[in-house]
Amino acid sequence: MEEQFILRVPPNVAERIERLLNENNASSSEDKSLDLSFREDGRSGTFMIGNEQFPASLLDLPCVVESYKTYDDNSLIKTADIGQMIMVRESGDAAPDVIEYRHGLTPPMRDARKRRFRREPDLNPELVSRVEKDLLKIMAGGTADNLDVETAEQEEGDENARGANKKSAPKPAPKHDIPENLTNAGEADRSDSEESDDSV
């Protein structure tokens, strides 16, 4: 698995590294060796270029950045997610007292956690602990404390049953009302036809 990090160095060191990478014959340069070592804590160390040593610190970035490479200057291929930066500083500079770097890599991400990220909610630690215990009980097959769900489930079941009964009940056939004058007219026509048949 490929792992990458950002190496941030002072401007004078950056020029020496760029010159070292661009030279065809690196053996002729006095900055021909680069070395990076860390102490037991894994956060502080030493960066060496040639015979000079610079203090270095491993810091977490406020957000993960992606690195890409290209073979034809047209298509980009993602190579890794980068979440840490090695900051090399001058000997007289003070070491950072935090493990997370305050800023991102670009100017828009300056003071990113305070300006761009959602603020952490103010939660009561006792409430968080109680919810965590309830979740562990539920995952173990038990029930949470001070929780009553039976009445709500029964009411929902009764309402569903009522709705099903209403849907399954057959609807009565519609009644068609016939006006009385039409029924009387039909009877009169029938009686007239019967009289005409008797007369014939």
pTM summary value: 0.53
Q: What is the pLDDT of residue 167?
A: 54
DSSP letters spanning the chain: -----EEE--HHHHHHHHHHHH-S-GGGSTT--EEEEE-TTSSEEEEEETTEEEEEEEEEEEEEEEEEE-SSSS--EEEEEEEEEEEE--TTSPPPS-SB-SS-SSGGGTTHHHHTSPPPP---HHHHHHHHHHHHHHHTT---TT---HHHHHHHHHHHHHHHHHHHSPPPPPP----HHHHHHHHHHHHHHHHHHHH-
The pLDDT, as a whole number, for residue 54 is 92
- Residue 200: the pLDDT is 46
As averages over each run of 10 residues, the pLDDT of the chain (200 residues) reads: 84 87 64 83 88 90 91 92 91 85 88 81 86 89 69 55 56 56 52 50
